Chains A and B, each alone.
Chain A
Amino acid sequence: MATTAVAEAPRMAGMRFGRAARRYGWTVAVYALLAVLMVTTIIIKPDYGAFEWNTLTLAALPLAFAAAAQTMVVLSGGIDLSVGPLMALANVLALRAMLGHDLNYSLGVALIVLLEVTLAGALNGAIIVLTRVPDIVVTLATSFIWAGLALLVLAKPTPGIPLDVQNLAQGSALSPWVPNALLLLLVVPLVWIPLRRSRAGLAIYAVGSDRNAAFRSGVNLGLSRVLAYSVGGFFAACGGLALSMTTGVGSPLAGTYYTLSAVSAIVLGGVSLAGGRGGILGVVAAAYILSLIPAVFIYLGIDPNYGQMIQGVLIVIVVMIGGLGAVLRRV
């Protein structure tokens, strides 16, 4: 009996390691890639300092939130084309309500905006579940609704986010190396990690990977999908508020660039577009990588348009390596 236990232990450990590698391998690889790129950047630009690190975090912040929003929906087997317009909606609602008010009032406004746009996300999910129209069609349609609503709230870009609110993202209260924007980004793991470990989070994965199996295991499909869209709406709202804080203005077209960039970030971050696979933490690193590339091109004095090509090449290479890994595992 003692001998079997001894023999069993390493095998168990081996299995656990294999599972952990499968589950977290990509995330670790993305962080490793980010680390390598950071080191490369520092070699290229030896005076890389707190200012540059703050620049990178400010640029990555809205993209990371947009990508987190998209990740939630994609994990549940859907796709949300309205992430950008939801960000714009949060952005203009915040401007309209915060204009001329102080910090405390504005924080109250931010909470209400988060709630409103979370509900808008829930509505996306509810329409999809109730009408059974494909996600891509519904969110394409609602993207026009949210964008139109944003234009109704605010017709043109308007300044007026209170300075104290802007400093919540632009300053660095603790240390120059810990920009406030980085602290704001902690919202992502603070929401994600508890959700990931809960039954509801597991249900979102289950629905995304195999809807029939999830249904037969007693998962409430509709509720899980609406939850995924709601949390997605919440992250999109965070992204819109991040834009308010980093630019100081409300703009009805604020989120335009983030719907598709978010898809790039989640693919690079290891989320399977087929659903049910991946996590948010790798996606955050991917947002940093995608923001670092144009910066490096400017440091090198090269047209950042090439940076966009490099991003494309990078995504293709990473996805190909990921696909190769999946094939090898199967063999």
Chain B
Amino acid sequence: MAALLVAGFALVACGGSPSNGGSTATKYTVGVSNTLTGNGWREEMICSIKAQAKASGVVSKVIIANRTTDAAGQIADIRNLISSGANVIVINPSDRDALNSVIKQATDKGIVVVAVDQAVSEPSAYVVTNDQVAYGNLGADWLAKKLGGKGNIIEMRGINGVPADTDRHQGLTAALAKYPNIKVVKQTFTNWSLDPAAQQMKDIFSSGIKFDGIWTSGIDSTVVDQFQSSNKPFVPIVGADNNKFVQELATLKDKGLTGAAVTNPPPIGGAGLAVGLATLQKSHSYDHVIHLTPQVWDNTTADGAAKLAQTYDSTLDPYYSVAFDVKPYTTYTKQDLIACQGPG
């Protein structure tokens, strides 16, 4: 049995080890740590990191530690990436504070650590995220205005306790404080997965809760689909710039769907890598905290409708975001992103 295992490992070793040929200028090793699998957004984020690594021309290898795990597992993954000789580590953190000591260990060794999508509190790390507080705020504000400042809304959150969810909830709460007649009548955690969100919508329909609008943390088209399959009249829905939701906002407008897509580009991963590489090469000095300001694409305004119609891409996975780059940071093309190939 043991021999079998060794053989297995050896086989894998032969297949996986990169060729050592080519003694060109310094090439960097990039480590990626992600702890949510089976999620289209995160897959696209990882593809953007691979595409940016390839486009940069200075990366020889991208090592991806991608598994569903907790903060303790992510600490082990990051330590293993340090051991693997990573020069830049891009992480999507599972906790704002739990990774601080391992990040500090990495930066003390001269490794550039970039937290993307969600923030960490360790000051030696670079943080490149969508402004998640603004994400919650802008979407909730749009919804409250759409409802005329009065009504019941459902808040479909992400994963309880992860930084982005906490920030978005904070933004939403702040926005709704200005509308005393808007009430959050139900709060759910979708875990950013399709099945729980679908089940929660079924439960909400059968429970008879009266609601006038839905705010989602990005599991949006699933909610629209549930309205369609249950033959319920649409209420205003806030989602993200996901391909299928963007399509639905554009095409189901005639059937009474009003909604807004708040942008949250997964290529933030590639942008984070670009910041990390520039820092490593000392070619550009960036602030330690970089926030993107989300846009709101409203299907009831001419501008918004045009943007939605123009960005929908039938060649793209339905659960991918329509944003394929984050200018000015990323330098790859849309084809690079879809190809999802790293260097080598």
Q: Chain A residues in contact with chain B, CB under 8 A? A: 32-33, 36-37, 40, 44-45, 51-52, 54-56, 58-59, 62, 156-157, 159, 166, 170, 243, 246-249, 251-254, 256-257, 291, 294-296, 298-305, 307-308, 310, 314, 317-318, 321
- When distances are taken between beta carbons in the complex, the residues of chain A under 8 Å from B37 are 305
B72's partner among A44, A59, A299, A304 (CB-CB below 8 A) is: A59
A81 to B160 alpha-carbon distance, docked (Å): 21
Which residue from chain B places its CB closest to the CB of A163 in the assembled complex?
Answer: B101
Nearest CB on A from B335, distance (A): 23
A44 to B63 alpha-carbon distance, docked (Å): 16
Which residue from chain A places its CB closest to the CB of B342 in the assembled complex?
Answer: A301
Pair A291/B95 contact, Cβ less than 8 Å: no
- When distances are taken between beta carbons in the complex, the residues of chain B under 8 Å from A310 are 8
Which residue from chain B places its CB closest to the CB of A48 in the assembled complex?
Answer: B83
A-B contact pairs, 16 of them (CB 8 A): A36-B6, A40-B9, A55-B80, A56-B76, A58-B72, A157-B95, A159-B96, A159-B98, A159-B100, A159-B121, A248-B101, A249-B71, A249-B97, A252-B161, A301-B63, A308-B67
B77's partner among A33, A246, A247, A298 (CB-CB below 8 A) is: A298
Pair B12/A251 contact, Cβ less than 8 Å: no
Nearest CB on A from B32, distance (A): 10
Count chain B residues whose beta carbon lies closer than 8 angstroms to a beta carbon of A. Answer: 45
Pair A62/B5 contact, Cβ less than 8 Å: no
- When distances are taken between beta carbons in the complex, the residues of chain B under 8 Å from A304 are 65-67, 77
A58's partner among B5, B64, B79, B95 (CB-CB below 8 A) is: B79
Pair B6/A300 contact, Cβ less than 8 Å: no
- When distances are taken between beta carbons in the complex, the residues of chain B under 8 Å from A321 are 1
A257 to B217 alpha-carbon distance, docked (Å): 24
**Which B residues, 54 to 95, have Cβ-Cβ distances below 8 Å to chain A?**
61, 63-73, 75-77, 79-84, 95
A251 to B13 alpha-carbon distance, docked (Å): 37
A303 to B65 alpha-carbon distance, docked (Å): 6
Pair A36/B161 contact, Cβ less than 8 Å: no
Given A58-B79, A298-B77, A317-B4 in contact, is the A157-B98 Cβ separation under 8 Å?
A: yes
Pair A318/B64 contact, Cβ less than 8 Å: no
Pair A58/B76 contact, Cβ less than 8 Å: yes
In addition to A156-B160, A251-B95, A291-B76, 14 A-B residue pairs with Cβ atoms within 8 Å of each other are A36-B6, A44-B13, A58-B79, A157-B161, A247-B72, A248-B97, A248-B101, A249-B71, A251-B161, A294-B80, A298-B63, A298-B81, A300-B16, A303-B66
